[in-house]
Structure 1
């Protein structure tokens, strides 16, 4: 079976597809990944074969006329059996319809996007949202979210077990950094933050219980953590869920619906700055058993969802039905 993936120029969206790409390749299928020319090096770093389509430009979407035309031209030559498109790469659905291939749409952690594919329908939609975070009555298929952040090396400091509860701080927002540093000073926890003192913002004071590191790849660090503090990014929010960790989303602006939904399930909390009780909120992440239980419930839901490898026979059956 020949499978063509299409993805917008966004590393997080590509990384969401990588476990499915690997599952199909491991099962013996021929897989290629289409993206803009300036994004193909990122595709190659996942071990995938890249196909250049369109022109360098809008990183948010793969939907413009030139991308659709070149993707369709390639599909007419290569004749894929299935075209799997990221939610922001609707050019894939157009190319699939033009060549008679089965069309699959994948909705990532951030939820569905506004479609710009001229109403072209897909044959299957796969959604990584666990049941507790899904809208009632949804008919999308399920696929398990597997955290992947690209090539990573387990840092040397992770070889030593922390003597205190470890909390990952995942943000590049100086306001969140400064507020979090002030809030955790004096707490009996270890905070890990990937950044530099300069990027923490002017006047930020980094307390002794904050470990500043060059990099903190989520799949390496999260298994050693008790909780996560982040700025609302969907990928780290979902990674925390996959590892069963309670989370706190902190921001100076309105937070995304996803993290507010996670808080509604009892797996975490949200707070908009300024917040006088931020230290208490962070301490509750490791002390409140109800938050830990809520995170464990969502993690169990994710673990019960079909793995990418489980879906390979269904994709093969779909390709046969559309042939």
Structure 2
């Protein structure tokens, strides 16, 4: 069986699909992952064969429309959800011609796309093969899908469609306790980390004498976008007398080391570090959120975009996190929230409940049989 995976053009979206891709490779199937040119080191670094289908990175699609005109990025929820869907759709449309060319010589039996990988349903419709949609985080993406359908009207009309094709199978990784009641039916799969690794030092996977707080803005963090955010958080947390660790890309870590004494920073695999932490302070990115939940660690979540707010607040409503908007994240509020999360044992108890729930969900290897049957039905 040949399976084409299409993530969303960022490290987190690649990491989310890697465990299922590796499970299928481990079962003897041929797997190929198609993404943007800048994601090829990420894809191949996880051990999955990859091919680039567009030379542009995600910031090209976030900031420019199809004609190359600059976009206004909305900051309110009613507009931001559809806006995100539209630029994901624009990226999918841009890669579709290359995908059609690739699949003339390497025809897949099945296409697996991430939550907003809109090239996946379009390609599957062109080829007449089954399409699987695998969630890469806990967001339902409903608003994004509406925006994507508007953006993709030319591509949909070419297929004789007015709506995005429904997947033949949905795979959901959100633990049931956090799943919105209106979520469509899906087959549950246990989330596992699929991030890049590095050679480790013993302190990364062992606990020290002090409480450990992880502060991160995810794998896309850059000096230009997130340096001030991370530096401010570290300075706010410093009075708590905790060990502070900042997993960050190397370029950003070098700048942080130059300004923050006593802070450990660098590309530290978060799945290794998280179980040693007492608290993770983060931006609500999907991979960071899932890694923290999987490790059973409380969160302080400061969503970097309003579309991340609702999933973050579901974790807070469950009792495993506190959420502050960027406007609320003053030094006093951040220090107060961290102090509460570290001192109130109920947050740890609820975080462990989520971790145990995730551990009961079916492993990616258990998805291989259903996907084989789906592909066989597609072959008729």
**TM-score of the pair, normalised by structure 1:** 0.87
- Alignment partner of 1:230 out of 270, 277, 282: 282
Runs of 4+ more than 6 Å apart? none
Is residue 121–residue 131 contact of structure 2 (8 Å, CA) maintained in 1? yes
Is residue 176–residue 231 contact of structure 1 (8 Å, CA) maintained in 2? no
Is residue 92–residue 117 contact of structure 2 (8 Å, CA) maintained in 1? no
2:67 paired residue number: none
Once the 2 structures are TM-superposed, how far is the Cα of residue 50 of structure 1 from its aligned partner? 1.9
Q: Deviations over 1:281-312 (max 9, x none)?
A: 21222221110111111112211211111111
Alpha-carbon distance between aligned partners in 1 of 2:179 and 2:32, rounded to the nearest angstrom: 30
**For 1:1-323, what aligned pairs fall within 5 Å after superposition?**
1-53=1-53, 55-57=54-56, 59=58, 61=88, 63-65=91-93, 67-109=95-137, 111=139, 112=141, 113-114=144-145, 115-116=148-149, 118=156, 119-138=164-183, 139-158=185-204, 161-171=207-217, 173-194=226-247, 196=253, 198-199=255-256, 206=260, 210-250=262-302, 256-271=309-324, 272-323=328-379
Once the 2 structures are TM-superposed, how far is the Cα of residue 150 of structure 1 from its aligned partner? 1.1
Q: Which runs of 5+ in 2 are unaligned?
A: 62-87, 157-163
Higher strand proportion, which one? 1
* Count of aligned pairs between the two proteins: 317
Alpha-carbon distance between aligned partners in 2 of 1:65 and 1:234, rounded to the nearest angstrom: 23
Higher helix proportion, which one? 2
**TM-score of the pair, normalised by structure 2:** 0.75
Relative to structure 2, which stretch is displaced further, 237-246 or 82-91? Answer: 82-91
Q: Deviations over 1:30-62 (max 9, x none)?
A: 111122344333322222222333x31252636
Is residue 242–residue 302 contact of structure 1 (8 Å, CA) maintained in 2? yes
**Two-structure CA RMSD over aligned residues (Å):** 2.6
Once the 2 structures are TM-superposed, how far is the Cα of residue 16 of structure 1 from its aligned partner? 0.6
Alpha-carbon distance between aligned partners in 1 of 2:96 and 2:231, rounded to the nearest angstrom: 45
Alpha-carbon distance between aligned partners in 2 of 1:191 and 1:6, rounded to the nearest angstrom: 35
Q: Which runs of 5+ in 1 are unaligned?
A: none
What SS does structure 1 have at the residue aligned with 2:5?
strand
Relative to structure 2, which stretch is displaced further, 186-195 or 122-131? Answer: 186-195
